[in-house]
Copies of this chain bind each other. A is one copy, B any other.
Amino acid sequence: MLIVMKPQATEENIRRVCEKIEAMGFRTHPIPGAQRTAIGITGNQGPLEPAEFECLPGVAEAIPVSKPYKLVSREVKSERSLIRVGSGDNLVTIGGRELAIIAGPCAIESREQAFIAAGQVRKAGARLFRGGAFKPRTSPYSFQGLGKEALEILAEVRRQFGLAIVTETIDPENCALVEEYADVLQIGARNMQNFSLLKRAGRSPRPVLLKRGLSATLEEFLMAAEYILSEGNYNVILCERGVRTFADHTRNTLDLSVIPAVKRLSHLPIIVDPSHGTGARDKVTPLARAAVAVGADGLIIEVHPEPERALSDGYQSLYPDQFDALMEQITAIGAILGRTTARD
């Protein structure tokens, strides 16, 4: 923290600020300038609250210097994390050379729908299968998922197709059930700061796919991951899925610049969801290409055997042949960056 005093601040004002800092157990470092004095603080373990100092007389501004996150940071662990998902036949490593491709329908609607979709995405080169069992919906009157029945279908999909299973958990109580069936627990954007759920997921044996909140800064996103790591679960995969802005030509604004920004600050892998990130089928493939080109560690994509009959998100789900074409394109782009897919 750096405290910047006003030009007209008195000696008394400066002394009082220093006393406050020292009473907190920290050291002060006054820096007198031509126009005003600044005071550096050292010795604090965690971040301090700027406003704590800004309300003292003579203080112009308090500027945070340390970052609040620790375990997710490259300063603590400089090599990239590799997250191992599944086991045996369906073991996949996320964050390494191979792009993690997660595909499947928005929601599991029936055994038949899931099996057809799984066969299609497996053939096109996906190694992980997505499919909602519990669906958080904006309206209480919308389809909320098949629940446990869907989880059982997903477990069958794993056995039959050797795909690792990614599915969403929606509250701490629900976590126990989902982790019994899934290989990866997904936490949705609207739950990114559901701290009870984050803590529970932090005590799970399963890796967690954490989606960025609709208006989460990079710091908040990393702090949400920090909640999970701080409970002992170091296997977190971050996911950019678009943020909310004034722009209205897509449902959300996909923020691809967050990929290099995360890679600079954190050792965790990060993938991209171009389906929710755009909310429109015709934009999924171009943005999926861009995500791989920017350096993402993978993609999560909605694919449905018959999008026009989907119970949710049909309009942003790809047709199976569109997904196949997408895989071909991103495999070629990935190769330029030294990445592989199961399609190679």
Contact = CB atoms under 8 A, between A and B. Distances in A.
A160 interface: no
Contacts of A87: none
B191 A194 contact: yes
A173 B173 contact: yes
A197 interface: yes
Contacts of A315: 49-52, 54-55
A116 interface: no
B52 A42 contact: no
A80 interface: no
A78 to B, nearest CB: 8
A283 B254 contact: no
A40 B49 contact: no
A147 interface: no
A300 interface: no
Contacts of A32: 42
Interface of A: 2, 4, 6-8, 20, 29, 31-34, 38, 40, 42-43, 46-47, 49-52, 54-55, 61, 63, 65, 68, 75, 136-142, 170-174, 190-191, 193-197, 199, 214-215, 217-218, 220, 223, 226-227, 230-231, 243-250, 253-261, 264, 277-283, 286-287, 289-295, 307-308, 314-316, 329, 332-333, 336-337
